[in-house]
């Protein structure tokens, strides 16, 4: 009987060649067979009216093109997380471990921890505990007030005694002042003891309730941690070499040493695990979003996205061992040195036109960078050189200082936002307003660097003014004037539904990959630190 998870293509794919190497999951262009498989999955989920409400909120799906033992080509499908409160659905591969199985240890222990949590909540809301806590808190405040008031009386009395001692006094008068001081000090000590005794009594009344609550919380924390570790151990992943490791082993070398919540539940690991267990040869993989974009992230229905590094990086790097995988295209060094055009230069500074694909500063991969090239050309230059940066995928003007004092002066202009920048970009879609302001605070997506997310609570302010230059077909040529300089600010502000909802053409992180990212830093205006002259440099993009 044929495997119900292995789907034959509805169309004739005999003329479509299989890829020579497997997909590099963190940066890829979907193979035509993956596009076809994704279309079939999308048609299937569109027919599931019972899932419509949930899927409208958005979910990541994945497809894996595979060959069976006879060389037949088909595909597997998966979703990230769970769907309709279940991990098991006929059309999709099962999870690596089903933590939602009703008779499994996870659900049972989760139910007991939940019951414990309800008891803790009840204890914290009990009238006896609340009354005891309030009485203790009130007594603490009253004690502090009374002691402070008596201290103030003692202070004023001391000032009166000091004033009297400046006058002639008899021995009896001087002795009376000493006795008054001693009495007040003793009285303060008695007041302290009285309040301490009252507070001790109230604390003794409160302690059994507090200890019960703290013990419950400690047990909840211990059991939750133990359950998480036991759960991680159940997620055991295979690779193409037949090796097996669990989540704890895979994340041990990472900076956090522990897996993040949800690790192992994404579509990509599910697909590879099922293929290995059923002797299906993986040939190509892709993941796409379906439904509305999340509030913080930028996801567009039907668009393909790379696997996240935070949750899936360590897992997939292990699972791909034994497969012939495409090279990371971002790690390939250009065969020829990229041209770094100088647009302005004097004895103090220069402005260069960075090509798309060149790093601003050296990264982990062995790639050419603006810093390295400038350092090679100007070995006598001092200081950090680069005053600001551009994303690797962005082309355009970069300001470079030859001296440390010039660098500091220019950075101060950036800090005080007196440097004016203009970027031009092609956007996928029509921006209906001619001009406006986007104000969406940003912060890093810690589980999927270098992506940024909109976070109105924790994000840093990010403000962009824009002006539409023209429309062509379903695209918009736009000018951006960023008032802040957050990472990926223009890319997120363009793509996010609360921004322009129109990704920059070629944006592999927030839109659809193309030959390049159509974003260019076109104009830079600043005040020259040595001459105090306003300098404005403009460089048109190399595309229309």
The catalytic site residues sit at: 391
Q: Would you say 76 and 7 are in contact if contact means Cβ atoms under 8 Å apart?
A: yes
Please tell me the distance from the alpha carbon of residue 195 to that of residue 179, in angstroms, as a whole number.
24
Please tell me the distance from the alpha carbon of residue 483 to that of residue 421, in angstroms, as a whole number.
8
Q: Would you say 365 and 331 are in contact if contact means Cβ atoms under 8 Å apart?
A: yes
For residue 126, what are the CA distances in angstroms to 112, 122, 202, 364, 487?
Answer: 21, 6, 17, 56, 49
Longest dimension (CA), the chain: 120
Q: Would you say 337 and 77 are in contact if contact means Cβ atoms under 8 Å apart?
A: no
| First vs last C-alpha separation in the chain | 57
The residues, any chain, with a CB within 8 Å of residue 146's CB and separated by 6 or more, are 191, 195
Q: Indicate the SS3 state at residue 181.
A: helix
Strands (E), 68-141: 73-79
Cα torsion angle, 221, 226, 227, 233, sign: positive
Please tell me the distance from the alpha carbon of residue 93 to that of residue 285, in angstroms, as a whole number.
14
Please tell me the distance from the alpha carbon of residue 396 to that of residue 333, in angstroms, as a whole number.
20
- H helical segments located in 381-431: 404-415
Please tell me the distance from the alpha carbon of residue 291 to that of residue 41, in angstroms, as a whole number.
13
User: 469-484: buried (b, 16+ CB within 10 Å) or exposed (e) per residue?
Assistant: eeeeeebbbbbbbbbe
Backbone angles phi, psi at 143, to 5 degrees: -60, -50
How far from chain centre, in Å, is Cα 272? 26
Q: Would you say 275 and 281 are in contact if contact means Cβ atoms under 8 Å apart?
A: yes
Cα torsion angle, 394, 486, 436, 430, sign: positive
Please tell me the distance from the alpha carbon of residue 331 to that of residue 16, in angstroms, as a whole number.
28
Q: Which helix (H) or strand (E) holds 228?
A: helix 171-234
The residues, any chain, with a CB within 8 Å of residue 261's CB and separated by 6 or more, are none
Please tell me the distance from the alpha carbon of residue 221 to that of residue 204, in angstroms, as a whole number.
26
For residue 442, what are the CA distances in angstroms to 495, 496, 518?
Answer: 13, 11, 21
Please tell me the distance from the alpha carbon of residue 39 to that of residue 37, in angstroms, as a whole number.
5
């Amino acid at each position: 009987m044929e495997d119900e998870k292995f789907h034959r293509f509805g169309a004739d794919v005999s003329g479509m060649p299989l890829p020579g190497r497997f997909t590099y999951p963190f940066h890829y262009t979907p193979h035509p067979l993956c596009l076809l498989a994704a279309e079939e999955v999308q048609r299937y989920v569109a027919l599931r009216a019972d899932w419509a409400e949930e899927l409208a909120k958005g979910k990541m799906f994945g497809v894996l093109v595979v060959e069976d033992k006879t060389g037949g080509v088909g595909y597997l499908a998966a979703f990230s997380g769970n769907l309709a409160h279940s991990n098991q659905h006929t059309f999709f591969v099962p999870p690596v471990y089903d933590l939602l199985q009703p008779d499994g240890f996870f659900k049972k222990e989760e139910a007991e921890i939940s019951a414990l949590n309800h008891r803790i909540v009840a204890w914290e809301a009990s009238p006896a505990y609340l009354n005891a806590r309030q009485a203790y808190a009130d007594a603490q405040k009253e004690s502090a007030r009374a002691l402070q008031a008596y201290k103030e009386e003692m202070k004023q009395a001391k000032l009166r005694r000091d004033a009297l001692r400046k006058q002639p006094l008899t021995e009896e008068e001087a002795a009376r002042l000493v006795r008054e001081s001693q009495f007040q000090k003793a009285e303060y000590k008695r007041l302290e003891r009285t309040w301490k005794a009252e507070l001790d009594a109230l604390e003794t009344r409160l302690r059994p309730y507090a200890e019960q609550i703290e013990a419950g919380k400690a047990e909840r924390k211990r059991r939750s941690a133990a359950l998480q570790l036991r759960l991680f151990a159940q997620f055991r992943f295979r690779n193409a070499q037949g090796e097996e490791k669990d989540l704890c082993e895979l994340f041990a070398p990472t900076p956090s040493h522990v897996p993040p919540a949800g690790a192992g539940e994404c579509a990509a690991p599910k697909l590879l695990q099922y293929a290995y267990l059923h002797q299906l040869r993986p040939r190509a993989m892709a993941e796409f979003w379906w439904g509305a974009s999340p509030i913080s992230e930028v996801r567009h229905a039907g668009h393909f996205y790379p696997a996240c590094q935070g949750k899936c990086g360590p897992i997939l790097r292990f699972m791909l061992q034994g497969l012939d995988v495409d090279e990371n295209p971002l790690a390939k060094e250009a065969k020829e040195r990229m041209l770094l055009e100088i647009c302005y230069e004097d004895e103090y500074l220069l402005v260069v036109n960075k090509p798309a694909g060149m790093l601003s500063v050296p990264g982990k991969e062995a790639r050419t960078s603006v810093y390295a090239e400038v350092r090679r050309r100007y070995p006598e230059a001092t200081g950090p050189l680069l005053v600001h940066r551009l994303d690797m995928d962005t082309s355009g003007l970069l300001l470079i200082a030859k001296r440390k004092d010039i660098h500091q002066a220019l950075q101060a202009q950036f800090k005080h936002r007196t440097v004016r920048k203009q970027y031009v970009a092609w956007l996928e879609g029509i921006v209906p307003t001619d001009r406006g302001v986007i104000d969406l605070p940003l912060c890093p997506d810690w589980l999927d660097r270098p992506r940024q997310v909109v976070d109105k609570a924790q994000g840093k302010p990010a403000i962009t003014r824009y002006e539409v230059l023209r429309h062509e077909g379903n695209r918009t040529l736009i000018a951006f004037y960023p008032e802040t300089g957050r990472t990926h600010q223009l890319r997120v502000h363009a793509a996010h539904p609360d921004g322009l909802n129109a990704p920059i053409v070629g944006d592999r992180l927030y839109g659809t990959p193309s030959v390049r990212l159509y974003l260019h830093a076109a104009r830079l205006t600043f005040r020259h630190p040595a001459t105090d002259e306003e300098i404005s440099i403009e460089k048109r993009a190399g595309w229309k």
